């Protein structure tokens, strides 16, 4: 039958189907071209640089490029006993090149990170070479071993071998307080030096509690705003929106004033007799300050999604619940609350995502016990200049955030985010 039906043609004589497909394709390209400038801009300036953070975080080419002959010779060495003559010879000629280029210091520092004690023995070897004490016609192995007893220790040669691959996961392990032990297995650092694990846990803990506080405080007022008549709720809405639009630093500054020892909150506590004047509690530069300030700063991000969901719930549903015999509490719990769950999900995920990457407020009011993982990243970017470690920690944080973002996208959909 299909062979008998005549194709419908447009006035140009082209089959309608083809013509429609063409138009559809044209529209697709048109729509894509509108998005293309921003997409391209973001890819070049933002998405690729984040990808580059990954290469930077695993990059370990420096030593690989510094000791090419050594590593070539080490390929045949099994790593159990002292390496053979050609490894020593390779190391000697590599090291001589480094001395000529005056970059031997970097090698010493880098190897010292792998195993303590390298700095002094490489320097000692350098002095011997500079004084031409090494006779190239004799066995180089014997001569290097005479420079210092550590050169006779196989563990130091194993350490050099470990630095051979151009890529390393060491920075990621360091971010979790682990490291590659001498035999190449993964080990934990000593208990009293596990600082990063504390920071990760603290970041999670603070983000979680700030989210809970924001929910507990945001739910009642969102409900009030959604049920009050328009003219009152618009007025009260200003209380939520004004902090939302005010500079983050201004809000942090006001908390610093309020929470300091001679500050308003402490004055108030003394006035109502809660604490004695000479034992004012420390509320800033610790976790209390971080909790209070972050809760106030992130609260609008909880209230706004909750409000926009609650606004759509008809009040007659609650009345119906009550008229069917429910007490107000049961009506609320069985009817109203389940309807607000999308808003709760949106608000909590948004606050949690923002809290987990917080930087400014913890740095100013957090003190030592209130700093978070972001502060550690900034510290390595600016102070220690260990950019590859900062990148590794950043990507670990990012992967966590992206998982939550993915859940958020599944539950709420990014195109459903509402602002103001």
Partner 1 sequence: MALPSYTETRYRIWHYFYIAICTFVFFFLIAPLFVIFPLSFNAEEFLVFSEGMKKLDPDAFSFRWYHEMVYGTKNPWGLAAKNSFIIAIFATIGSIILGTLAALGLSSRHMPYKGLIMAVLISPMIVPLIISGVAIFFFMAKVGLAATHTGIVMAHIILGTPFVVITVTATLSGFDHSVTRAASSLGSNPFNTFMKITLPLILPGVISGGLFAFVTSFDEVVVVLFLAGLENTTIPVQMWTGLREQLSPTILAVATCLIILSTLILVTAELLRRRSERLRGINR
User: If binding is defined by CB under 8 A, does position 317 make contact with partner 1?
Assistant: no
Q: Is 45 or 65 the residue whose CB approaches partner 1 more closely? A: 45
Q: How far is the CB of 260 from partner 1 (least distance, A)?
A: 7
Closer residue to partner 1 in complex, CB, 14/216: 216
Instruction: Give, in degrees to the nearest 5, the angle at Cα 277 between 272 and 283.
Output: 85
Looking only at the bridges linking them, the beta strands covering 178-180 and 186-188 are antiparallel
Which of 9, 17, 20, 27 is close enough to bind partner 1 by CB under 8 A? 27
Per-residue contact flags (x/-) with partner 1 for residues 54 to 93, judged by CB under 8 A: --x-------------------------------------
Q: What share of the chain is helix, strand, coil (3-state, %, to 5)?
A: 70, 0, 25
Tell me if 13 contacts partner 1 by CB under 8 A. no
- Site membership for partner 1, residue 385 (CB under 8 A): no
Our measurement of the distance from residue 257's CA atom to the centroid of its chain's CA atoms, rounded to an integer in Å, reads 30
Query: Is the Cα torsion angle 291, 293, 296, 302 positive or negative in sign?
Result: negative
Nearest residue to 342 (alpha-carbon basis) of 315, 298, 316, 311: 311
The answer to whether 367 contacts partner 1 (rule: CB under 8 A) is: no
Instruction: Determine if 176 is a binding residue for partner 1 (CB under 8 A).
Output: no
Read off the tokens for 102. Answer: 């005056």
Site for partner 1 in 30-49 (CB under 8 A): 30-39, 41-42, 44-49
Q: Please tell me the number of Cα atoms within 13 Å of 9 on its side-chain side.
A: 5
Report the alpha-carbon distance of residue 226 to residue 357 in Å, rounded: 30
- Tell me, residue by residue from 192 to 231, as one string, x for binding to partner 1 by CB under 8 A and - for no binding: -------------------------xx-xx--x--xx---
Q: Of the candidates 5, 137, 138, 262, which one interacts with partner 1 according to CB under 8 A?
A: 262
- Tell me if 173 contacts partner 1 by CB under 8 A: no
Nearer to partner 1 among residue 250 and residue 368 (C-beta): 250
Size of the site for partner 1 (CB under 8 A): 92
Instruction: Work out the number of other CB atoms within 10 angstroms of the CB of residue 29.
Output: 11
Whether the Cβ atoms of residue 259 and residue 280 lie closer than 8 Å to each other: no
Stretch that binds partner 1, among 62-70, 77-85, 308-316, 359-367 (CB under 8 A): 359-367
């Amino acid at each position: 039958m299909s062979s008998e039906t005549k194709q419908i043609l447009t006035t140009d004589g082209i089959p309608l189907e083809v013509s429609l497909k063409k138009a559809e394709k044209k529209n697709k390209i048109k729509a894509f071209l509108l998005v293309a400038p921003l997409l391209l801009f973001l890819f070049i300036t933002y998405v690729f640089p984040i990808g580059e953070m990954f290469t930077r975080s695993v990059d370990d080419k420096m030593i690989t490029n510094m000791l090419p002959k050594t590593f070539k010779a080490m390929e045949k060495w099994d790593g159990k006993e002292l390496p053979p003559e050609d490894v020593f010879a390779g190391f000697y000629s590599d090291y001589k090149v480094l001395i000529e280029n005056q970059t031997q210091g970097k090698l010493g520092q880098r190897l010292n990170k792998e195993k303590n004690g390298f700095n002094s023995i490489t320097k000692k070897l350098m002095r011997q070479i500079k004084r031409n004490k090494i006779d190239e016609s004799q066995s180089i192995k014997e001569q290097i071993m005479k420079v210092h007893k550590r050169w006779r220790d196989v563990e130091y040669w194993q350490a050099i071998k470990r630095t051979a691959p151009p890529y390393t996961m060491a920075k990621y392990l360091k971010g979790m307080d682990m490291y590659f032990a001498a035999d190449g297995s993964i080990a934990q650092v000593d208990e009293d030096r596990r600082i990063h694990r504390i920071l990760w846990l603290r970041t999670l803990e603070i983000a979680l509690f700030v989210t809970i506080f924001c929910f507990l405080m945001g739910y009642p007022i969102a409900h009030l705003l959604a049920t009050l008549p328009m003219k009152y709720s618009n007025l009260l809405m200003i209380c939520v929106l004004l902090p939302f639009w005010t500079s983050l630093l201004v809000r942090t500054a006001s908390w610093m004033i309020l929470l300091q020892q001679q500050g308003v909150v402490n004055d108030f506590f003394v006035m109502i007799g809660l604490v004695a004047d000479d034992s004012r509690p420390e509320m800033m530069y610790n976790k209390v300050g971080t909790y209070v300030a972050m809760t106030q700063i992130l609260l609008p991000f909880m209230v706004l999604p909750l409000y926009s969901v609650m606004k759509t719930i008809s009040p007659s549903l609650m009345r119906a619940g009550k008229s069917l015999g429910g007490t107000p509490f049961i009506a609320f719990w069985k009817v109203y609350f389940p309807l607000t769950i999308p808003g709760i999900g949106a608000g909590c995920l948004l606050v949690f995502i923002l809290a987990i990457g917080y930087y400014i407020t913890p740095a100013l009011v957090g003190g030592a016990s209130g700093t978070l993982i972001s502060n550690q990243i900034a510290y390595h970017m600016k102070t220690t200049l260990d950019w590859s470690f900062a990148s590794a920690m950043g990507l670990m944080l990012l992967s966590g955030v992206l998982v939550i973002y993915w859940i958020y996208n599944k539950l709420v959909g990014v195109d459903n985010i509402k602002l103001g």
